[in-house]
Chains A and B, each alone.
Chain A
Amino acid sequence: MSLLELDDVSVTYRIAAGEVPAVRGVSLTLDSGAALGVAGESGSGKSTLAMALLRLLPRDARVGGRILLDGEDLLTMKWGRLRAVRWAEASIVFQGAQHGLNPVRRIGDQVAEPLLVHGQAKPDAARKRVHELLEQVGLPTWRARSYPHELSGGQRQRVMIAMALACSPRLIIADEPTTALDVMVQAQVLTLIKELVAEQNISLIMISHDLSVLADVCDQLAVMYAGRVVEHGPSGDVFHEARHPYSRALAAAFPTVGDPASRMAPKGLGGDPPDPMNLPGGCSFHPRCPVALDECATLDVDLWPAGERRSAACVHVRAKEEAS
């Protein structure tokens, strides 16, 4: 049985200017121990989706659909139960690690907090566990007494990961854990995540706009565009031979160093990202799509099987599959 199942999840923000459909009907499943990568450009709804998983969205957001964790619907769950689920079963590493830590409390206390809150340890044991966790993420134990500002960005991100691991959850959601980090540090953090997932049989949802990073860490990839998943499949396949033109453009944006094809030929996607409040009709990607057909302007394509364990939302895919 899959650990997490998203069924037609949608999120709409209601703001003064109107409604913002940030996530529009996302269905995904995640097996336990598996790693799912969610890619997409800025504003495509990745973070919103992640926050929706633990019902952490602000009050002006309306969530629809079902989010099943072990068969339990998180969206209708009692508050007490939800609090118990939060962190103990699913924890989250946020986008900017800088701000995810309380600036005026010591690292150790913050890492220990979920342990104490969920009654998983007495203060003494918690302190030991904190040291363990810090070592696990490669930080010296005396760092427990430091304040967040005394750490570098990479170290802070590691603290966040240690914190996420504290209650030995079965699912970790990592929202852009490496953006804004230096290349070298980024590599360190990614290696760490990869190791942890492999060793501890933790399921992972990792969000990034860097497809190459996701392809490296995750088994499965989902590419989002304008609040929808437009392509889903095993990471290697999606990265190297994407079926949706958007995924293709995204993948091409990361050149392979040494590949003469990309030398002096940067590739990108023309046009502007969609305005979520004013989405184009039909396939929302069609104004930027290099291979758009006339019907794209009116036809809203759903995910369509696109090969083994793969799906993509594009008329071309559909045409091809139907042809075969």
Chain B
Amino acid sequence: MTAPLEAAEPAAAQAAGPGDERSAGRGVLRYALSKAGGALFSIAMVLVGTFFVFRLLPGDPVRNLAQGRAMTPGQLDLERRRLGLDKPLFDQFVDFVGDTLRLDLGTSYEYKRPVLDLIGERIGPTLLLTGTGLVIAVSLGIWQGTRAGWRQGSRFDRFSTGTSLLLWSVPTFWLGLLLMMVFGVGIGPIPGILPFRGIESVDAPDGFAYILDVASHMVLPCLTLVAVVYAQYLLVMRSSLVEEVSQDYVTVARAKGLRDDEVRRRHAVPNALLPTVTLVFMRIGFVVGGAVTVETIYTWPGLGKLFYEAINVPDFTLMQGTFLLITVAVIVMNTLADVVYHILDPRVRSA
């Protein structure tokens, strides 16, 4: 949770001539391709890693899958053949890669259904929750970070830095429990006013009321997720802005007669945003981790909960499938962030 921040190092580049525009475009493409190559490599590593890690499981995988239920030898054999465990390791690996590439993630033993289907059902709520959470966290974090960084040392700055450090140190699940206790269950005379289970009421109304219903269900999980995640963005934005503010061009902008907020809006913030936005994407993995906890606590029917269930059963095919998906998604997001950063920042664009 507390990886120290690394600012992007601007690459010095020497270029000449108007033709650079085009070559810069080609540069981005080349960069994107090389990044995509890197991402593919990472994904390949994930595949290999997953295959072997899950082969490290102690005992007989089929019996692991059976979780102690009595199975007839016929069933065991069937299962074994179905899983291709009768083949040599290398063939298994080839099959595994092939299946994965064909998006066949196997069948969940617990749910008796293709893992991909299960994931498909759960991905929507997760995207809704993490998406909303991320949007709120990012905008809040960036807004507050901007204010704090701009007036460094002000009361607002000390307050928000303090709060974010506090939130940073809070274990997500604990915060979730507390929020649930206070706002969901209700404590003492305070009645619990917010729903704290699932994504919608059982007798969910239709139309706009339905949206409100879902929204009300989202309040607590979102709050938990945001509280923990946004602190990071605040700190990143703040330090990034502080870095920018000390740059000479900000003084130049002031000297040009720009108003304080113009200096901030036009110069400091856009520049500070560049590394921040990248970091936002880079920390996607962290958000995913938060989602697992939050979804578990609030019974949010998302991927995180699915993963948690898989861990707890344990349902290894499901675990493997969700793990693969989450990891690949995070890798893809990271790569995108890299490329987007490259498009946005002219300093590295032509490099």
Count residues of A near B (Cβ-Cβ below 8 Å): 33
Whether the pair A96, B248 counts as a contact (CB closer than 8 A) is yes
Task: Take A96-B248, A145-B18, A147-B346 as given contacts and tell me if A117 and B256 are in contact as well, using a CB distance cutoff of 8 Å.
Answer: yes
Whether the pair B257, A103 counts as a contact (CB closer than 8 A) is no
- Quick one: which of A249-267 are within 8 Å of B by CB? none
Whether the pair A54, B255 counts as a contact (CB closer than 8 A) is yes
Residues of chain A within 8 A of B271, CB atoms compared: 102-104
Task: Take A100-B249, A104-B345, A145-B21 as given contacts and tell me if A87 and B10 are in contact as well, using a CB distance cutoff of 8 Å.
Answer: no
Query: Which listed residue (A85, A103, A117, A152) contacts B10, Cβ 8 A?
Result: A103
Whether the pair B347, A118 counts as a contact (CB closer than 8 A) is no
29 contacts between A and B (CB under 8 A): A54-B255, A83-B258, A85-B257, A86-B254, A86-B257, A95-B248, A99-B248, A100-B252, A102-B253, A102-B267, A102-B271, A103-B10, A103-B271, A103-B347, A104-B271, A104-B344, A104-B345, A104-B347, A113-B266, A114-B257, A117-B257, A118-B257, A145-B21, A149-B12, A149-B347, A150-B13, A150-B350, A152-B14, A163-B252
Residues of chain B within 8 A of A152, CB atoms compared: 14
B98 within 8 A of A: no
By Cβ-Cβ distance, the 9 closest A-B pairs, closest first, are: A99-B248, A86-B257, A147-B346, A114-B256, A83-B257, A102-B249, A150-B15, A87-B256, A142-B18
Residues of chain B within 8 A of A51, CB atoms compared: 251
Whether the pair A91, B346 counts as a contact (CB closer than 8 A) is no
Whether the pair B256, A86 counts as a contact (CB closer than 8 A) is yes
Query: Which listed residue (B13, B249, B346, B347) contacts A99, Cβ 8 A?
Result: B249
Query: Which listed residue (B20, B249, B254, B256) contacts A103, Cβ 8 A?
Result: B249
Residues of chain A within 8 A of B16, CB atoms compared: 150
Candidate in A91, A103, A149 with the most chain B CB atoms within 10 angstroms: A149
Of chain A, the residue at the smallest CB distance from B257 is A86
A94 within 8 A of B: yes
* Additional pairs, 20, CB under 8 Å, beyond known A94-B248, A101-B249, A103-B249: A56-B254, A83-B258, A83-B259, A85-B257, A87-B255, A92-B252, A92-B255, A96-B248, A99-B248, A100-B248, A104-B271, A104-B344, A104-B347, A113-B256, A114-B256, A142-B18, A146-B20, A149-B346, A152-B14, A163-B256
B119 within 8 A of A: no
B139 within 8 A of A: no
Least CB distance, A152 to chain B, in whole angstroms: 7
- Quick one: which of A112-157 are within 8 Å of B by CB? 113-114, 117-118, 142, 145-147, 149-150, 152
Of chain B, the residue at the smallest CB distance from A150 is B15
- Quick one: which of A66-89 are within 8 Å of B by CB? 83-88
- Quick one: which of B5-25 are within 8 Å of A by CB? 10, 12-16, 18, 20-21
Residues of chain B at the chain A interface (Cβ within 8 Å): 10, 12-16, 18, 20-21, 247-249, 251-259, 262, 266-267, 270-271, 274, 344-347, 350
Whether the pair A103, B262 counts as a contact (CB closer than 8 A) is no
Bound complex: CA of A88 vs CA of B256, how far in Å?
8
Bound complex: CA of A32 vs CA of B10, how far in Å?
42
How many residue pairs, one in A and one in B, have C-beta atoms under 8 Å apart?
A: 84
Least CB distance, B266 to chain A, in whole angstroms: 8
Bound complex: CA of A92 vs CA of B267, how far in Å?
18
Whether the pair A94, B345 counts as a contact (CB closer than 8 A) is no
Least CB distance, A239 to chain B, in whole angstroms: 30
Of chain B, the residue at the smallest CB distance from A115 is B256
Residues of chain A within 8 A of B345, CB atoms compared: 104
Bound complex: CA of A17 vs CA of B271, how far in Å?
32
Least CB distance, A146 to chain B, in whole angstroms: 8
Residues of chain B within 8 A of A87, CB atoms compared: 255-257
Least CB distance, A14 to chain B, in whole angstroms: 13
Residues of chain B within 8 A of A100, CB atoms compared: 248-249, 251-252
Of chain A, the residue at the smallest CB distance from B244 is A102
Least CB distance, B255 to chain A, in whole angstroms: 5
Residues of chain B within 8 A of A113, CB atoms compared: 253, 256, 258, 266
Least CB distance, A182 to chain B, in whole angstroms: 14
Candidate in A56, A117, A142 with the most chain B CB atoms within 10 angstroms: A117
Task: Take A83-B259, A113-B256 as given contacts and tell me if A94 and B10 are in contact as well, using a CB distance cutoff of 8 Å.
Answer: no
Of chain A, the residue at the smallest CB distance from B11 is A149
Whether the pair A104, B274 counts as a contact (CB closer than 8 A) is yes
Residues of chain A within 8 A of B249, CB atoms compared: 99-103
Whether the pair B256, A149 counts as a contact (CB closer than 8 A) is no
Bound complex: CA of A88 vs CA of B21, how far in Å?
33
Least CB distance, B32 to chain A, in whole angstroms: 19
Least CB distance, A84 to chain B, in whole angstroms: 7
Task: Take A83-B259, A99-B247, A104-B347 as given contacts and tell me if A150 and B20 are in contact as well, using a CB distance cutoff of 8 Å.
Answer: yes
Residues of chain B within 8 A of A92, CB atoms compared: 252, 255
Query: Which listed residue (A88, A149, A163) contacts B257, Cβ 8 A?
Result: A88
Residues of chain A within 8 A of B14, CB atoms compared: 150, 152
Whether the pair A103, B346 counts as a contact (CB closer than 8 A) is yes
Residues of chain A within 8 A of B257, CB atoms compared: 83-88, 114, 117-118
